[in-house]
């Protein structure tokens, strides 16, 4: 099965080159980079890497949001397996890629969610681990919600998670040891980080509200399964 890595970037000039070159060195059949209207030097840096044999670069003229960027990557992907990689990571290794891809490739899971960094919250109980940007899935499984993804902005992970739950898909969570993913407080000042958290929280809540039918379907499926046991 062909694999496509998708990297969505917005103002990631300090890390984008290393992420793109590291991902391109792996055995992905193609690497798609979506520049979501960055205003820093992200575009300039990516264009210097376009000579990589498996790289496809798409630059959006203005910021459309994470959901739109991810959907654009899916629409342009030729691989059956899609791996999303955040643009602000460090310490990426081949082992991380293998951990993300193998369960889907060998049909042990429909989607894999990889968590970077240990936190103060116990990993098994961490309520935020499903919002990770490192995820692998089959293109055919996510195509039905691509149009919805375009309008979900930062609520895109919530949309995907709700959809997979409603369809009874198998989701596997893994810890990507050694991978570093900076927090908003690492990347900007405290007031700006808090502002972004509020905006993203609103987008997540709005996405959940707009897709309440998926929540209802999941509940009905769970009740039906328990009744049949």
Tokens of residue 109, six digits:
């899971």
Per-residue pLDDT at 229: 58
Per-residue pLDDT at 107: 97
Beta bridge partners of 175: 115
Q: What is the pLDDT of residues 7-64, one digit of tens each?
A: 999 999 999 999 999 999 998 999 999 999 999 999 999 999 988 889 999 999 999 9
Q: What is the pTM of this model?
A: 0.91
Per-residue pLDDT at 195: 85
Q: What are the residue ranges spanned by the domains of the chain? A: 3-228
Give the number of residues written for the chain: 229
Per-residue pLDDT at 24: 93
Give the 3-state secondary structure of the chain.
CCEEEEEEECCCCCCHHHHHHHHHHCCCCEEEEEEECCCCCHHHHHHCCCCCCCEEEEEECCCCCHHHHHHHHHHHCCCCEEEEEECCCECCCHHHHHHHHHHHHCCCCCEEEEEECCCCCCHHHCCCHHHCCEEEEEHHHHHHHHHHHCCCHHHHHHHHHHHHHHCCCCEEEEEECCCECCCHHHHCCHHHHHHHHHHHHHHHHHHHHHCHHHHHHHHHHHHHHHHHC
Low-confidence ranges of the chain (pLDDT < 50): 120-123, 125-127
Q: Which fold has domain 3-228?
A: Spore Coat Polysaccharide Biosynthesis Protein SpsA; Chain A (3.90.550)
As a whole number of angstroms, the distance between CA 114 and CA 131 comes to 10
Phi first, then psi: what are they for 121, rounded to 5°? -90, 130
Per-residue pLDDT at 28: 95
Per-residue pLDDT at 187: 83
As a whole number of angstroms, the distance between CA 222 and CA 208 comes to 18
Tokens of residue 67, six digits:
């959901």
Per-residue pLDDT at 122: 47
N-term to C-term CA, the chain: 36
């Amino acid at each position: 099965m062909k694999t496509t890595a998708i990297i969505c970037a917005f103002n990631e000039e300090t890390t984008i080159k290393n992420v793109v070159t590291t991902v391109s060195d792996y055995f992905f059949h193609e690497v798609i980079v979506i520049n979501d209207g960055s205003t820093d030097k992200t575009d300039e840096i990516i264009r210097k890497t376009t000579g990589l044999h498996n790289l496809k670069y798409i630059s959006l003229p203005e910021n459309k949001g994470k959901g739109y960027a991810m959907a654009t990557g899916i629409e342009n992907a030729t691989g059956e397996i899609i791996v999303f990689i955040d643009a602000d990571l460090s310490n990426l290794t081949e082992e991380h890629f293998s951990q993300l891809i193998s369960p889907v490739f060998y049909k042990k899971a429909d989607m894999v969610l990889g968590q970077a960094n240990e936190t103060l919250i116990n990993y098994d109980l961490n309520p935020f681990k499903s919002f990770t940007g490192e995820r692998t899935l089959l293109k055919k499984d996510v195509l039905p919600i691509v149009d919805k993804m375009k309008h979900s902005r930062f609520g895109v992970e919530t949309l995907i998670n709700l959809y997979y739950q409603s369809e009874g898909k198998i989701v596997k969570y893994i810890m990507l040891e050694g991978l570093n993913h900076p927090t908003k407080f690492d990347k900007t000042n405290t007031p700006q980080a808090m502002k972004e958290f509020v905006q993203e929280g609103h987008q997540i809540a709005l996405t959940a509200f707009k897709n309440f039918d998926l929540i209802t379907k999941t509940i009905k499926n769970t009740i039906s399964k328990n009744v049949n046991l």
